[in-house]
Amino acid sequence: AQAASPPAPAWQPLSEALGCRLAAPLRALVAVPGVDVSAMDGYAVAGPGPWRIAGRVLAGGAPYGAAPAPGEAVEVATGAPVPEGAESVLPYELADADGVRVAGDPEPGKHIRRRGEDVAEGAVVLSPGTVVTPVALGLAAALGHDELLVRPRPKVAVVVTGDEVVDRGIPGPGRVRDAIGPFLPGLVAWAGGRVTTTTRLADGPEALFAALDGEADARAPRAAERGRGGARGSVHGRLVDPVSEAGVVVVCGASSRGPADHLRAVVAEIGAEVLVDGVAVRPGHPQLLARLPGGPLLVGLPGNPFAALSASLTLLVPILRALTGGATAHGTSALAGVVRPHPHDTRLVPVRRSGRGAVPVGHDRPGSLWGAALADALAVVPPGWSGGQVELIELPQGAGQSVQ
Ligand SMILES: Nc1nc2c(c(=O)[nH]1)N[C@H]1C(S)=C(S)[C@@H](COP(=O)(O)OP(=O)(O)OC[C@H]3O[C@@H](n4cnc5c(N)ncnc54)[C@H](O)[C@@H]3O)O[C@H]1N2
Ligand code: MOO
């Protein structure tokens, strides 16, 4: 979280601003209502009754031209401007009308919404830092806004590596379906960010170097000059453009020590600054955090899908919360079930909360998301734990963004 520097405020169309935090006070650009309008369907009356029906005004229709004289009534729809000079509105239900004349006993001033009565022009209705909820969008529109100055949602570029990883259908012999690419957009949105691109790379340092060094190239040309020759150029065009826009780059796989695991070597070669080189957590210990030349953060997720989820919650989500000004709320709970702690690392254990405490749901092998899909939280079990309350890390439920 400390490594994250929030993006500069930017004007976003209303539809893009949902879920962002306001970077400036939200002011009313107009008064609501904009003019004195009727709050009821009925007759706007001037002076004492009975009244002669002199005309009609509908919401959105032409305003009534002249001020009604005392003894005159103008038929008005809810939301229609009340003609100047009318003192109150007599709702149809209380009116005795025959099409020409109307009688009744209106309360003076009643059923007229005065200009600015709901919101005065210029009033500050929401303060900076407020999350733009669906309701806030409606309010902003009502107050005349088409765009809002917000902290933009951080853009996250995803790079999925692995010769064996396929992205559709039944995986053939020696192949596995990508299980990380599909969970990242929802997880990132839940934490306040936006996955803008998912790039698939074969194993091998070349493609990864091109993708990440292009990122460096786009922001800090000198870092790239150190690198390889001009052959990279064409690769830049294909891979790098979406990546170079991102504030956070997530690389899935290639994080460990095998012959096809080149992430650390490539990170060193492009001159990235390693901030976190592994975390004492199971699963997910090979995870990595680095700052790429030019500023964006790189999060390396291990290829085992549950390890990737563990690493996402450990490194990626806190970064996104910091970038968006959100907080990460962690509860604590007793553990209602048998859990074996790891001797020297923290374990993250999928659990479901119940009245008895957090119940481990099992199916928690690093290569499988089954347990995490059954769970609503991950229990943080410290090394050597021997009972007692544990911290819980929320798992996203449903499609919504969590607002904390
Ligand atoms: N000698 C060591 N070997 C390993 C260690 C270690 O410390 N020393 N750590 C193990 C742990 S723990 C993990 S986790 C993995 C991390 O591996 P990588 O990040 O290098 O990823 P890969 O080797 O490419 O893949 C590991 C595993 O995951 C599958 N995979 C990869 N990407 C995906 C994906 N997008 N969706 C689904 N599954 C994926 C891949 O097929 C492998 O089975 O390293 C251990 N080894
Ligand atoms: O990160 Mo591995 O266990 O941590 O699958």
Q: What predicted TM-score, i.e. pTM, was given to this entire model? A: 0.83
Distance from the alpha carbon of residue 287 to the mean position of ligand 1, in angstroms:
11
Atom of ligand 2 nearest to the CA of 311: 1
CB of 287 within 6 A of ligand 1: the answer is no
Distance from the alpha carbon of residue 164 to the mean position of ligand 1, in angstroms:
11
Q: Is the pLDDT of residue 230 over 60?
A: no
Distance from the alpha carbon of residue 246 to the mean position of ligand 2, in angstroms:
27
Ligand 2: residue of 252, 285, 368 to mutate (most ligand atoms within 8 A of CB) is 285
The string of pLDDT tens digits covering residues 65-80 is: 888 999 999 999 999 9
Ligand 2: residue of 257, 299, 304, 347 to mutate (most ligand atoms within 8 A of CB) is 304
Atom of ligand 1 nearest to the CA of 301: 19
ipTM, interface predicted TM-score of the complex: 0.98
SS3 letters for the chain? Answer: CCCCCCCCCEEEEHHHHCCCEECCCEECCCCECCCCEECCCEEEECCCCCEEEEEEECCCCCCCCCCCCCCEEEEECCCCECCCCCCEEEEHHHCEECCCEEECCCCCCCCEECCCCCECCCCEEECCCCECCHHHHHHHHHCCCCEEEEECCCEEEEEEECCCEECCCCCCCCCEECCCCCCHHHHHHHCCCEEEEEEEECCCHHHHHHHHHHHHHHHCHHHHHCCCCCCHHHHHHHHHHHHHCCCEEEEECCCCCCCCCCHHHHHHHCCCEEEEECCCEECCCCCEEEECCCCCEEEEECCCHHHHHHHHHHHHHHHHHHHHCCCCCCEEECECCCCCCCCCCEEEEEEEEECCEEEECCCCCCCCCHHHHHCCEEEEECCCCCCCCEEEEECCCCCCCCCC
The string of pLDDT tens digits covering residues 11-30 is: 999 999 998 999 999 999 99
Q: Is the pLDDT of residue 329 over 80?
A: no
Distance from the alpha carbon of residue 286 to the mean position of ligand 2, in angstroms:
7
Domains of the chain: residue spans and CATH = 10-31+124-151 (3.90.105.10), 37-113 (2.170.190.11), 155-324 (3.40.980.10), 331-394 (2.40.340)
Mean of per-residue pLDDT scores for the chain? 90
Higher pLDDT, 164 or 260: 164
Distance from the alpha carbon of residue 257 to the mean position of ligand 1, in angstroms:
9
Q: Is the pLDDT of residue 225 over 60?
A: no
The string of pLDDT tens digits covering residues 295-326 is: 899 999 999 999 999 999 999 999 999 998 87
Determine the pLDDT at residue 218. 52
Tell me the ligand closest to 252's alpha carbon: 1
